[in-house]
Structure 1
Amino acid sequence: MVEFVEKNHDEEFLFTEANGTLSRATITLEQSARVYQPGDIVILISGTYVLATNALVDANVDADVSIVARRTNATAKDTKAAAIVRDAEVKAGYLTFGASTVLADLSPSLAEKNIIVLPDAA
C-alpha cells in the first residue's frame, strides 16, 4: 500500500499574529533548487532571502530573518513571497531550516523581531 505524506499547509505554523498586516510583508526569495515551504526560516543575504543555515547565521549575526508563509516556487528565478516578519507566535515543530542548523540557533534572531517560538501543543 502506498503511503502519502501531507506537507505543511500554508501558514499552518502560526499560532497568532498581530492585527492587520503588522506581522506580514512581501519578501524576495532567492532562486533555489527546492520549493520554499510554509514555515521555512529564511535569512537576508545580498538583497534576497535564502534558507537559513547555521553557517549563514554565524557569518551574518545581524542579518534579517523571516518565515515563509506560503509554499513558493522559486526554482526558475528570484520570486516574491508572503512572509511573517514580526510580532507573531509560531509552532516550533512546523518550522524548517537548512542542514546542520538547530532551532536554538535561530530563536534569538526571531525573538529580536518579536517572533516567539512555542511548543506545538501550546
Structure 2
Amino acid sequence: MPTFNEGRHPAEFLLSEANGQRSRGNITIAANQTIVPGSVLGQVTASGQWVGHDPAAVDGSRTAGAIALYGVQTGPAATFAISAIVREAEVNGKTLSYKAGLTAPQIAQIATDLAGKQIIVR
C-alpha cells in the first residue's frame, strides 16, 4: 500500500487570534518564492514585499514579521497577494515552516521578532 504525505493546511499553525480578523493582513509575496502555509516571512525593506525569512539576509528579511496563512509559488516576474498573520496571535511553533538548517538560537530569535508584533510562539 502506498504511503501518502499530507502537506500543511492553511492556518493549521494558528492557536488563537484577535477578535474578528484583526490578526490578519494582506501582504505581497515577492517573485521567485515558494511559500507553504505556516512559513515564517521577512519583509524586504526596499520593496515592502515579503519573502521567506532568512537570518543571513541583508535586505530586511532577516527579521521575522509575519506568518503565511496560505501557500503560493511565484514566478520570476510575478508577485502574489496572500493573507498572513501580522499581529496579535498565538501560534504553534512546531508547525511553523522555517528555512532549513536554522539553529536553536536562530529559532529563538524568530520567536523574539514575532513577539514584537504580539505573535506569540508556543
| TM-score category, normalised to shorter length | 0.7 to 0.9
Deviation at 1:62, TM superposition (A): 8.6
TM-score by length of 1: 0.84
Residue 15 of structure 1 aligns with which residue? Answer: 15
Equivalences for 1:10-49 in 2 at 5 Å?
A: 10-34=10-34, 36-45=35-44, 46=46, 47-49=48-50
Q: Residue type of the partner of 2:3?
A: E
SS at match of 2:56: helix
Deviation at 1:104, TM superposition (A): 1.1
Deviation at 1:103, TM superposition (A): 1.9
Deviation at 1:55, TM superposition (A): 0.7
Gap runs ≥5 in structure 1? none
Residue 106 of structure 1 aligns with which residue? Answer: 110
- Judge conservation of contact 1:89–1:115 (CA < 8 Å) in 2: yes
For 1:114 and 1:14, the matched residues in 2 are separated by 13
- Judge conservation of contact 2:14–2:92 (CA < 8 Å) in 1: yes
For 1:26 and 1:83, the matched residues in 2 are separated by 6
For 1:72 and 1:33, the matched residues in 2 are separated by 8
For 2:61 and 2:81, the matched residues in 1 are separated by 24
For 2:115 and 2:16, the matched residues in 1 are separated by 15
Deviation at 1:106, TM superposition (A): 0.6
Deviation at 1:5, TM superposition (A): 0.7
The share of aligned pairs that are identical, in percent, is: 32
Deviation at 1:12, TM superposition (A): 0.3
TM-score by length of 2: 0.84
Residue 92 of structure 1 aligns with which residue? Answer: 93
- Judge conservation of contact 1:53–1:99 (CA < 8 Å) in 2: no
Which 10-residue stretch deviates more, 81-90 or 99-108? 99-108
